[in-house]
Amino acid sequence: MANPTNPESALAALAAHLGTRRFVTDLRADGLHVKNPEMQGCCDGVRRASDTITCRPREADGGRLWFWTSWGEPIAEADQVINASVTVLGNLAHRHGLSR
């Protein structure tokens, strides 16, 4: 992918890629909401695996755009959509006991 020129286009590209992996995505003003539909819902007491991904400059990388988790960890540079999607998928599965 070419280097995205703005956070919205980068998040849209990530949403498209995660959608092909059957994750539910919703691009909102505060970021890209991503949900793992394989997780059980709230009604039986189990949280759904989800995160809100943002895209903003990373000062340690010369101000280039990066994807970030909701807890402030960098995921991947914004032009690395496949790497970012693998990390997001792994984070959502790992944080809720799906992998190991």
Residue 100 falls inside a structural domain: no
Read off the pTM.
0.82
Query: Which residues make beta-bridge pairs with 64?
Result: 58
Query: Would you say residue 67 lies in a domain?
Result: yes
Over residues 31-85, the pLDDT tens digits come to 999 998 887 545 444 455 899 999 999 999 999 999 999 999 999 999 999 999 9
Which residues span the domain enclosing 69?
A: 7-95
* Count of domains forming the chain: 1
| Rounded (10°) angle between helices 7-20 and 81-95 | 60
1 within a domain of the structure (yes/no): no
pLDDT at 59 (0 to 100): 96
Cα(97)–Cα(65) distance, rounded to whole angstroms? Answer: 30
Q: Record the tokens describing residue 95, joined without a space.
A: 């944080």
Please give the pLDDT value at position 90.
Answer: 87
